[in-house]
Amino acid sequence: MDIDYLLMLQHFRERSNDLLTPFMELVSLSAISILILIPAFMYWCTDKSAGLYTLSSYALSSALTVIVKLTACVYRPWIRDSRIIPAGDSVRSATGYSFPSGHTANAASVYGSLAVSAGKKKKQISVICGFLILLTAFSRNYLGVHTPQDVLAAMLLGFAVAFGMSKLFVYLSGNPEKEDIVLAGGIVFCIAALVYISVKPYPSGIVNGAVLVEPKVMMKDGFGCIGRLAAFCTARYAEKKWIRYSPSVSFRTAVLGVAGTVITTLIILYVGSPAEAVFGMHWGAFAKNFIMMSFIIVIWPAVMKFGFKDK
């Protein structure tokens, strides 16, 4: 039934001459590129606590999603059924195994956390966030790169992380001395996760002599996503111990926030290849994401606080 659903959407794409495909590609792309810029800007410029909460949900959701993905090792729809033809250029970003959807989990954790932060007083924000989660999930089906169960599981995982992190942040606000223990636990979890995905067995990925999925390539996403969580834990500890950044709502802060989003975008786009050249495929992906998250959590706040003091 899941394949039939994807074929129905594929038929619609063909009949409509891919009218909606560029838009759906943009929706999907934003989930793995510009989406992180929203909580980053909040963290730097408006509400540090809400931004930190959303970034932590994003980091944990990314790590958990990729661990489940590399454990389940479910092949993509077009590998399961040759009738499925992914739309446009979407297959290029559809790296890794299929279950669950990383794009959808990112959207559910980030938009879900933003909805929680908005609370009951700003219901319209929650409605918009809910719509964007569903739109992202649907875009993955529409493009033919994920099944309905892939996106449903991802939404549930993202929601669970957003809910769990909201409860953890409430607890830590009343027990701040416990945060170092939580961050240390996160580092231990990352180490264990890296060992797990490195030593666990994977399917050969070879059918009738053709390589369908190369496990070493799939592990690249694992190292990258776990690198985000590892960076969050270490950078958060460094920031609260030595930087203690506090945003001030001002024109100067807004300008620096915009500059920070530009630099973060450049890191996302251009750091990957040099990092892989230096550290190799797996640790290069880890390094790129570690640099990105560290820049957001500790490096740019330090620059904003100490490098651009008000005269």
214 compared with 254, residue with greater pLDDT:
254
> What would the DSSP string read from start to end of 20-71?
SHHHHHHHHHHHHTGGGHHHHHHHHHT-HHHHHHHHHHHHHHHHHHHHHHHH
What pLDDT score does 95 carry?
A: 66
pLDDT tens-digit series, residues 228-244: 999 999 999 999 999 99
**Averaged pLDDT, 76-95:** 79
What pLDDT score does 82 carry?
A: 82
Q: How far is Cα 35 from Cα 110, in angstroms, rounded to an integer?
A: 8
96 compared with 296, residue with greater pLDDT:
296
**Averaged pLDDT, 285-307:** 96
pLDDT tens-digit series, residues 23-34: 999 999 888 888
Q: Is residue 309 part of a domain?
A: no
Element (H, E) at 207: strand 206-207
Q: Is residue 29 part of a domain?
A: yes
71 compared with 91, residue with greater pLDDT:
71
pLDDT tens-digit series, residues 210-225: 556 677 778 999 999 9
Cα 170 off chain centre by: 23
> Angle at CA 137, nearest 5°, toward 164 and 194?
55
130 and 84 Cβ atoms separated by less than 8 Å: no
The answer to whether residue 275 scores a pLDDT higher than 80 is: yes
What pLDDT score does 109 carry?
A: 96
Confidence of residue 274 (pLDDT cuts 50, 70, 90): very high
Look at 44-48, 79-83, 92-96 and tell me which has the smallest mean pLDDT.
Answer: 92-96
pTM: predicted TM-score of the whole model, two decimal places: 0.94
Q: Is residue 254 part of a domain?
A: yes
The answer to whether residue 310 scores a pLDDT higher than 60 is: no
Q: How far is Cα 23 from Cα 44, in angstroms, rounded to an integer?
A: 30
Q: Residues with Cβ < 8 Å from 129, sequence gap 6 or more?
A: 111, 112, 114, 115, 118
Q: Is residue 156 part of a domain?
A: yes
* Percent of the chain surpassing pLDDT 90: 76
Q: Is residue 310 part of a domain?
A: no
pLDDT tens-digit series, residues 138-176: 999 999 999 999 999 999 999 999 999 999 999 999 999
Domain that holds residue 76: 2-238+247-302
Q: Is residue 67 part of a domain?
A: yes
How many domains are contained in the chain? 1
